[in-house]
Amino acid sequence: MANMNTKTPLMRVHGISKELGGREILRSVSLDLYEGEMKVLIGPSGGGKSTLLQCMNYLLVPDRGEIELEGRRVDPRKARELCEFRQHVGMIFQDFNLFDHLTATENVSIALRKVKGMSRAQAKARAKAELDRVGLADKGHLYPAELSGGQKQRVSIARALAMDPKVMLLDEPTSALDPELVSEVLTVIRGLAQNGMTMVMATHQMGFTRSLADEVLFMQEGRIIEQGSPKDLLAEGSGTRTLDFCSQILDVEGAGA
């Protein structure tokens, strides 16, 4: 990470603003994301974390601002460019959003076949490999309704990974899970981080953040109001808003993961 600032960022978010239903959700948010980096977004709900993540792959089109991936600016009005861009930016949702009519294997393979044009056999082999990577090698034949929350989220991670994304965006991936299922998902995400996947993740898992985040971004009222290493922002007595917020959620959630 030492030479971070001498390299060009992998993804660059510049001055993104977004209004939804007449309310300003994002107010000129910028961030530079470097290869292999893990940024964590924290902050109160309604602060704009989820909107920022959705703007970062144009699931929501920002009103102002721009996004660059590897130095190339993306024009969301060009459908083909947009689809191409999204293939490189994987997204994990809080409530999984698996395709309910497809088995775990098919959930992973469908975009490989229909977007990447792989043959059925190739796509299936790749899907199996990805499911294996998230520890679900024996669950490929099951439908989403037959899986636990943690398994569903791991399938959705496998589905995103299969596209070989350059960046992964994770929108509170463990928030919809029963407490005992959180760790299996965090283990998978930890593995990704250790393998150098570039990620931006909204989460309230403070233990996880402390040990894995390269940078913590604290968002409130549509702005990044504090950013820095978890060590700096979460140090006892640092007096940051981040620390203040985190001690509040720790009181509620116990020790964290």
- Please give the structure tokens belonging to residue 93: 């949702």
Binders of other proteins among residues 102 to 161 (CB under 8 A) are 110-111, 114-115, 142-146, 156, 159-160
Q: Does 52 bind other proteins (CB under 8 A)?
A: no
Q: How far is the CB of 26 from other proteins (least distance, A)?
A: 18
- Stretch touching other proteins by CB under 8 A, among 79-87, 184-192, 224-232, 246-254: 79-87
Cβ-based nearer residue to other proteins, 86 or 204: 86
Q: Does 253 bind other proteins (CB under 8 A)?
A: no
- Stretch touching other proteins by CB under 8 A, among 18-26, 69-77, 92-100, 231-239: 92-100
Q: Does 163 bind other proteins (CB under 8 A)?
A: yes
Compute the distance between CA of residue 192 and CA of residue 197 in angstroms, rounded to an integer.
Answer: 5
Contacts to other proteins by CB under 8 A: 57, 59, 79, 83-84, 86-87, 89-91, 93, 95-101, 110-111, 114-115, 142-146, 156, 159-160, 163
